Amino acid sequence: MAKKKRDFWLLLGSKHSSNCDNRRGFCPLCRTGFAGHAADMFRAFITACSLTIGAPLWACEIALVLAVDVSGSVDQDEFRIQMDGLAEGLRDPAVAGALLAEGAAITVVQWTGTTRQAVSVPWMEISVPQDLDALATRIEQVPREWRNYSTAIGEALGFSLKQFETAPVCQRRVIDISGDGTSNEGIAPVEVHARLEELDITVNALVIEGAEPDLTTYFRANVISGAGAFVVTANGYDDYPRRMRMKLLREVSKPVSGRVAPQTVNAL
């Protein structure tokens, strides 16, 4: 096993350590910077994992609902940025490593107005690298369900919490909701908090600033819920993929014990 672990890090590290100049953020493999060969890194990660991951009984640390805003304020390009950003974040070696180390189950939903929520990707159990790659590929191919409808965050939370009725048994249950506006239709998000707390479901958020003033404060006060809940802020849709990766990494990493107050992670 020691040799397998050594081989794992040699294979994964060889993609960067000998070829990339970390001080300049430049990689000769792609000529454009580290992001240019992210896919190569992920393929190396999958291959390396095959050296160390056998077939133990599957255990699940986190059941995660990825709830994507498709309301009228989100145009088609912005929808695509959200879906591709999710896929890119899941393929990130650090995020993938955390998911595979502990086990996870993930589903994706789209939401907009009061009666418009849908499951885009049913629950998928993540136990081997191929599961994660299959999930990311499905997310990239998801078509948009609706356009030009209102923003009903309360109903989105209610729909998302119901998905746990069919979820695998996991240690933690988390809703990851993204949005670029306040709720303007249906029940208020805070009205769902009591039920979320009763079921021990945490709600974290990725806020896309730009359309409305100080949206981060609104989500922090009205949307997120549960011990250790947090908001990550993106300064516009161009910042979304980077912030989603950060959010996923924080979300899927095993939390330290004890209750902490809700937090805000501002865009840098």
Strand, helix or coil for residue 145: coil
Strand, helix or coil for residue 222: helix
Q: Which residue would you say has higher pLDDT here, 44 or 144? A: 144
**pLDDT per residue as tens digits for the range 209-234:** 987 888 999 999 999 999 999 999 99
pLDDT at 46: 54
- List the beta strands (DSSP E) in 78-138: 104-111, 117-126
Could you give the angle at which helices 93-102 and 76-91 cross, rounded to 10 degrees?
A: 60
Q: What is the pTM of this model?
A: 0.76
**pLDDT per residue as tens digits for the range 96-111:** 999 999 899 999 999 9
pLDDT at 58: 59
pLDDT at 45: 55
pLDDT at 3 over 70: no
Cα torsion angle, 149, 152, 156, 162, sign = negative
pLDDT at 152: 95
Q: Which residue would you say has higher pLDDT here, 36 or 206? A: 206
Mean pLDDT of 235-260: 81
pLDDT band at 256 (very low <50, low <70, confident <90, very high): low
pLDDT at 22 over 50: no
pLDDT band at 83 (very low <50, low <70, confident <90, very high): very high
pLDDT at 25: 44
Nearest to 145 by CA among 156, 136, 134: 156
Mean pLDDT of 120-136: 95
**pLDDT per residue as tens digits for the range 26-63:** 443 344 444 455 555 555 555 555 444 444 455 899 99
